[in-house]
Structure 1
């Protein structure tokens, strides 16, 4: 039995975003996420998108390696982002951190909360 195995890093952030259009344009988030998947060689197995009446959105991208999820609150200039990559062959912890930083740059956001869970 392997006892030192760790499936991966799960990063959860809450971000403040000044440009409201970034928080209401789900298609642009999806396009950017597609570029992230290509850049980091991640495999999408499904996606669920919901746009709310106030133009906020929630998106869950199911990956072979786990998931990327976002929920936006334009009325509060905030979003929550959840990135988890697991892999039994390699440690993806640095990749998770880099992906979250890429999203922070995309949203030109400041960090409100930043949690890292090693699973």
Structure 2
């Protein structure tokens, strides 16, 4: 029996351990990388907001037409957390969520500490 298409989409949560601490404090490079990903996957950015902390860690939230991507870095413990959700209103975006997650894992050179997939 084939699995029924989930209309609301896939929400993926990740926690990564990152060995290269500078990636967790380089907001400009991260924004450039993410903007390239959005273009590559044909996702429409509605806007984004950032906050840089005293230790240069950052929080960034992308509001997308298709939903959102949020990233929080923790250089003091060499960790990054991610929240990636794309809705499936007009097409199944589950594979995009997984591919984008893998691209971020590769960008950070991260080791997965925890990952959760929630079918909405």
TM over 0.5: yes
TM range (shorter): over 0.9
Instruction: Please list every run of at least 4 consecutive aligned residues from structure 1 whose deviation after the TM superposition is greater than 4 angstroms.
Output: none
- Aligned match of 2:105: 104
Q: Please give the root-mean-square deviation of Cα atoms over the aligned residues, in Å.
A: 1.0
Could you list the per-position Cα deviations for residues 10-39 of structure 1 after superposition, in whole angstroms to 9, with x for gaps in the alignment? Answer: 000000000010000111111000000010
Q: TM-score, normalised by structure 1?
A: 0.95
- Aligned match of 1:47: 48
> CA separation in 1, counterparts of 2:54 and 2:6?
44
- Aligned match of 2:94: 93
Q: State the SS of the aligned residue for 1:36.
A: helix
- Aligned match of 1:27: 28
Q: State the SS of the aligned residue for 2:84.
A: strand
Could you list the per-position Cα deviations for residues 25-58 of structure 1 after superposition, in whole angstroms to 9, with x for gaps in the alignment? Answer: 1111110000000100000001001000011000
Aligned residues: 116
> Which ranges in structure 2 are unaligned for 5 or more consecutive residues?
none
Aligned 8 A contact 2:6 2:88 in 1: no
Q: In the TM superposition, what is the alpha-carbon distance from 1:6 to its structure 2 partner?
A: 2.6
> Which ranges in structure 1 are unaligned for 5 or more consecutive residues?
none
Q: In the TM superposition, what is the alpha-carbon distance from 1:88 to its structure 2 partner?
A: 1.1
Q: TM-score, normalised by structure 2?
A: 0.94
Q: In the TM superposition, what is the alpha-carbon distance from 1:5 to its structure 2 partner?
A: 5.0
